[in-house]
């Protein structure tokens, strides 16, 4: 081996070693955890989660990956271990998620209200009447052939709320859903359902966050016709997947994200989101309201707490400081 070849060999080995060291250092510094969040469409479609993601990822070495679906499907993802965390708005389904041993450490993070929206002509004459009376008028008008109702029909939180409202209005949802001449199951997310209602000049139930975004963006011309009353309250919660059920879930990352959502910074993002564009917040932060026990907090406790707990003690895994 001549001296020139030996020198080149030494330089090559040094370059390889240096490259490996640099790559190792880069990976150590830049490789980020992955957190999979199965979320209701209303939080995702409004863009709120984009704002939260930007702030969170700037602070923590965790990449957020959102799966936007209805609450029912979000829960299915978690049951299979395909998500680390769910963001949903259907308390009855959330309680089952906890009691089945799938979810832990539930925290209420935000709220807004549902509204019955429809064409400006308002053929059922429901403007500013209480929700129960509005639905009774819609049924009567629908059966007379003058009105259409579009249901999400997807077992989402909004769909669950719709079914509950039919019950409190004196109707059996199963019966109504078979009256296909005026009751239409869209089987789709909130945005798509609003567009269908727009195209068919129909009524539907919408969360105010998604409605305001679609209305202000000129995607729909539907009007808010009935929006008053605590029965239209819409509460959002975050629930981590039980690490004892699925060992592959990123439980630590999920709890880091939940703590950010309920932190002062996280709640401020929620409180401010939409004000510049829509002249009002699309969602209200829940934590401060609950601490101050406002009227809205009383409604939240009545509607979305279980035996006076947002998360009963038996469904908590560590992190007891969340409930102090």
What is the CA 26 to chain-centroid distance, rounded? Answer: 35
- What pLDDT is attached to residue 135? 96
Domain count, the chain: 2
Domain span at residue 71 reads 32-112+233-323
**Pairing mode, if any, of strands 284-285 and 233-241?**
unpaired
- What pLDDT is attached to residue 31? 64
The answer to whether residue 11 sits within a structural domain is: no
pLDDT mean over 193-212:
95
Secondary structure E strands in 192-259: 203-207, 223-226, 233-241
Q: Identify whether residues 136 and 104 lie together within a single domain.
A: no
Cα–Cα distance measured from residue 285 to residue 269, given in angstroms and rounded to the nearest whole number:
9
Least confident of 8-22, 148-162, 210-224, 300-314: 8-22
DSSP-based three-state secondary structure for 122: coil
- What pLDDT is attached to residue 246? 86
Residues 6+ apart with CB under 8 A from 302: 230
- Of 231, 247, 265, which one is at a domain's C-terminal end? 231
- What pLDDT is attached to residue 10? 52
Q: Which residues make beta-bridge pairs with 68?
A: 39
pLDDT mean over 108-130:
94
- What pLDDT is attached to residue 247? 84
* pLDDT tens-digit readout, 5-45: 555 555 555 544 444 444 434 433 456 799 999 998 888 88
With CA atoms as reference, report the closest residue to 42 among 195, 221, 207: 207
Say yes or no to pLDDT of 270 above 90.
yes
105 falls in which pLDDT band (50, 70, 90)? very high
> Quick check: 287 and 120 in contact, CB under 8 A?
no
Residue bearing the bigger pLDDT, 58 or 274: 58
Q: Identify whether residues 288 and 143 lie together within a single domain.
A: no
Cα–Cα distance measured from residue 75 to residue 156, given in angstroms and rounded to the nearest whole number:
10
Q: Identify whether residues 314 and 264 lie together within a single domain.
A: yes
In Å, how far are 41, 93, 201, 227 from 304, measured between CA atoms? 19, 11, 33, 19
Say yes or no to pLDDT of 142 above 60.
yes
- What is the CATH classification number for the domain harbouring 211? 3.40.190.10
Residue bearing the bigger pLDDT, 310 or 4: 310
With CA atoms as reference, report the closest residue to 251 among 108, 110, 103, 48: 103
Q: Identify whether residues 184 and 135 lie together within a single domain.
A: yes
Q: How many residues does the structure list for the chain?
A: 324
Cα–Cα distance measured from residue 252 to residue 195, given in angstroms and rounded to the nearest whole number:
39
Cα torsion 60, 209, 92, 161 to 10°: value is -170
Token pair of 139 as six digits: 């049924």
The answer to whether residue 273 sits within a structural domain is: yes
Average model confidence (pLDDT) for the chain? 89
Q: Identify whether residues 144 and 237 lie together within a single domain.
A: no
The answer to whether residue 105 sits within a structural domain is: yes
pLDDT mean over 171-188:
93
Q: Identify whether residues 237 and 108 lie together within a single domain.
A: yes
Least confident of 70-74, 80-84, 158-162: 70-74
């Amino acid at each position: 081996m001549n001296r020139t070849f030996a020198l080149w060999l030494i330089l090559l080995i040094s370059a390889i070693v240096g490259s490996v060291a640099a790559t190792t250092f880069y990976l150590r510094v830049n490789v980020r955890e992955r957190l999979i969040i199965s979320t209701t469409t209303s939080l995702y479609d409004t863009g709120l989660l984009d704002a939260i993601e930007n702030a969170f990822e700037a602070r923590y070495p965790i990449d957020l990956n959102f799966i936007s679906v209805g609450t029912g499907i979000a829960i299915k993802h978690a049951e299979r271990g395909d998500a680390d965390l769910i963001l949903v708005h259907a308390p009855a389904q959330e309680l089952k998620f906890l009691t089945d041993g799938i979810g832990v450490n539930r925290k209420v993070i935000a709220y807004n209200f549902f509204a019955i929206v429809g064409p400006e002509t308002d053929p059922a004459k429901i403007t500013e009447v209480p929700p129960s009376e509005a639905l009774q008028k819609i049924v009567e008008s629908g059966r007379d052939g003058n009105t259409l109702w579009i249901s999400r029909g997807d077992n989402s939180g909004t769909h669950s709320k719709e079914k509950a409202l039919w019950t409190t209005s004196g109707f059996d949802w199963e019966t109504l859903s078979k009256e296909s001449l005026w009751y239409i199951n869209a089987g789709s997310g909130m945005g798509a359902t609003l567009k269908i209602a727009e195209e068919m000049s129909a009524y539907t139930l919408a969360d105010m966050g998604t409605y305001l975004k679609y209305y202000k963006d000129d995607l729909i011309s539907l009007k808010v016709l009935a929006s008053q009353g605590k029965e239209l309250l819409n509460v959002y919660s975050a629930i981590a997947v039980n690490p004892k059920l699925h060992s592959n879930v990123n439980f630590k990352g999920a709890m880091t994200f939940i703590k950010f959502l309920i932190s002062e910074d996280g709640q401020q993002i929620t409180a401010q989101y939409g004000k510049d564009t829509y002249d009002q917040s699309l969602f209200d932060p829940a934590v401060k309201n609950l601490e101050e026990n406002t009227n809205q907090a009383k409604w939240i406790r009545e509607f979305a707490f279980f035996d006076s707990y947002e998360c009963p003690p038996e469904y908590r895994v560590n992190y007891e400081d969340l409930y102090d």
